[in-house]
Amino acid sequence: MTTRDIVLVALFTAIVIVLGLMPPITLGFIPVPITAQSMGVMLAGCIIGAKRGAASFALLVLMVAIGLPVLAGGHGGLAILSGPTAGYIFGWIIGAFVTGLIAERMVGNGASEAKQFAGFAVASLVGGIGVVYACGIPWLSFVTGTPIGAALYGNLAFIPGDLVKAAIATLAARAVLAGYPMLPRRA
């Protein structure tokens, strides 16, 4: 990893921490809050790629593990990494990697603008939503003792917001690609 890669990883970890400054919205029927930090998965994967995006979230999880209050609502510590939201948090690492992998494969500097938008959108939806849910829902079900179907049903409340986050991430990634064509060079 080059110095540039390390700086980008740290920068995106900081961006995700800043997204956590927005207060989480808790829902009464599920112990998982709505946060802006999940949009960071899509942004990191689409903008800095699979390896660096995953590394930025691995750094975030390390910071949580040592007790720094870097998650939405000022949370951190090992208890968070074993609670109902832990599957989503660890899923962020895998989600950023998958998002970045899809973006790297589908989006190129020579591709048309429409193809770039489509590639970033697919990457955000599959990696930033699908993969994170695939990691978070089973863990939520296991920790809370909720049937998997009920946990899945409870997560439907997050879909509209996550679609908005995917749209924002798609627009931001395309803007970065257009404005800074050297930034997406992958590690």
pLDDT digits (tens, 9 = 90+) for 87-97: 999 999 999 99
Whether residue 105 lies inside any domain: the answer is yes
Helices (H), 38-131: 38-48, 50-65, 86-106, 113-123
Q: Supply the pLDDT for residue 183.
A: 56
Q: Which residue(s) pair with 34 in the sheet? A: 25
Q: Measured between alpha carbons, how far is residue 33 from residues 28, 42, 46 in Å?
A: 9, 18, 24
CB distance 127 to 95 below 8 Å: yes
CB distance 94 to 131 below 8 Å: yes
Q: How many domains would you assign to the chain?
A: 1
The residue segments making up the domain with residue 56 are 3-179
Q: Residue 22: pLDDT band by 50, 70, 90 thresholds?
A: confident
Q: What is the CATH number of the domain that holds 35?
A: 1.10.1760.20
d(CA 136, CA 134): 6
Whether residue 186 lies inside any domain: the answer is no
Percentage of residues in the chain having pLDDT higher than 70? 95
The residue-averaged pLDDT of 104-118 equals 87
Q: Supply the pLDDT for residue 34.
A: 79
Whether residue 151 lies inside any domain: the answer is yes
Q: With 80 as the cut, is the pLDDT of residue 10 above it? A: yes
Q: Supply the pLDDT for residue 186.
A: 56
Which tokens is 48 given?
């800095």
The residue-averaged pLDDT of 121-132 equals 97
Helices 86-106 and 132-144: crossing angle in degrees, nearest 10, is 170
Instruction: Lowest mean pLDDT of 25-39, 100-114, 133-147, name the range.
Output: 25-39
Q: With 80 as the cut, is the pLDDT of residue 178 above it? A: yes
